[in-house]
């Protein structure tokens, strides 16, 4: 398995947003909640999974083709809350307002990177800030946190990220960045 990489496409966060999310997600600290470390916060666009090392050049070309027609766009933070289903949450996420440019980019990445693209659910821009521990009950009352002022960030670059599954948290690294708007 040394010649296989666990990969995904994501956008890095600006430091101010990372700091805000790390600070606010601390309100969810509980024995049944595992906070995502600040250095691991990112906006996932497409999970690729296990990929042979020799497939990397072709994968990078596909990502480049998928992002070429897309201009940079902004996302506006809506709230931090348990989700994706409030009554049966799996995680705590920072959810952003719906974004047509985000949905289009996710759709194009899916078309380029998925061997058999399936009917996809609506892409909801979000950042996972905490996960519930397996075998522990989900806390009965978890807050929804509204930002005190509008918080936006511009997605101008996406990256091909590598995930190494180690304890206590995965280690992520960016293998290559792909700027948006290069074909406009």
φ/ψ region of 69 (left if φ > 0, alpha if ψ in -120 to 50, else beta) reads alpha
Strand order in the sheet with 171-179: 43-52, 4-11, 157-164, 171-179
Q: Range of 15's domain?
A: 4-179
CATH of the domain at 65: 3.90.1140.10
Q: What is the pTM of this model?
A: 0.92
The answer on pLDDT for 184 being more than 60 is: no
The per-residue pLDDT for range 12-44, each reduced to its tens digit, is 999 999 999 999 999 998 888 999 999 999 999
Confirm whether 85 is domain-assigned: yes
Confirm whether 43 is domain-assigned: yes
Confirm whether 35 is domain-assigned: yes
- The pLDDT assigned to 65 comes to 95
Q: What's the chain look like in SS3?
A: CCCEEEEEEEECCCHHHHHHHHHHHHHHCECCEEECCHHHCCEEEEEEEEEEHHHHHHHHHHHHHHHCCCCCEEEEEEEEEEECCCCCCCEEEEEECCCHHHHHHHHHHHHHHCCCCCCCCCCCCEEEEEEECCCCCCCCCCCCECCCCCCEEEECEEEEEEEECCCCCCEEEEEEEEECCCCC
The per-residue pLDDT for range 79-135, each reduced to its tens digit, is 999 998 878 888 999 999 999 999 999 999 999 998 776 666 788 999 999 999 888
Number of domains in the chain: 1
Which residues lie across from 11 on neighbouring strands? 43
171 vs 140: which has the higher pLDDT? 171
Confirm whether 12 is domain-assigned: yes
Confirm whether 184 is domain-assigned: no
């Amino acid at each position: 398995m040394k010649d296989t990489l666990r990969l995904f496409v994501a956008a890095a966060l600006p430091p101010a947003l990372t700091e805000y999310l790390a600070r606010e997600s601390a309100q969810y600290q509980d024995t049944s909640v595992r906070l995502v470390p600040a250095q691991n916060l990112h906006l996932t666009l497409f999970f690729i999974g296990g990929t042979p090392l020799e497939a990397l050049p072709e994968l990078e070309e596909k990502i480049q083709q998928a992002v070429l027609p897309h201009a940079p766009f902004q996302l506006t933070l809506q709230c931090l809350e348990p989700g994706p289903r409030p009554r049966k949450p799996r995680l705590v996420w920072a959810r952003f307002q719906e974004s047509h440019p985000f949905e289009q980019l996710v759709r194009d990445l899916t078309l380029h990177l998925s061997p058999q693209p399936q009917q996809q659910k609506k892409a909801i821009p979000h950042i996972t800030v905490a996960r519930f521990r397996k075998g522990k009950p989900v806390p009965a009352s978890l807050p929804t946190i509204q930002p005190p002022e509008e918080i936006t960030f511009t997605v101008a670059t996406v990256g091909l990220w590598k995930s190494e599954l180690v304890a206590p948290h995965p280690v992520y690294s960016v293998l290559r960045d792909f700027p948006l708007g290069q074909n406009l």
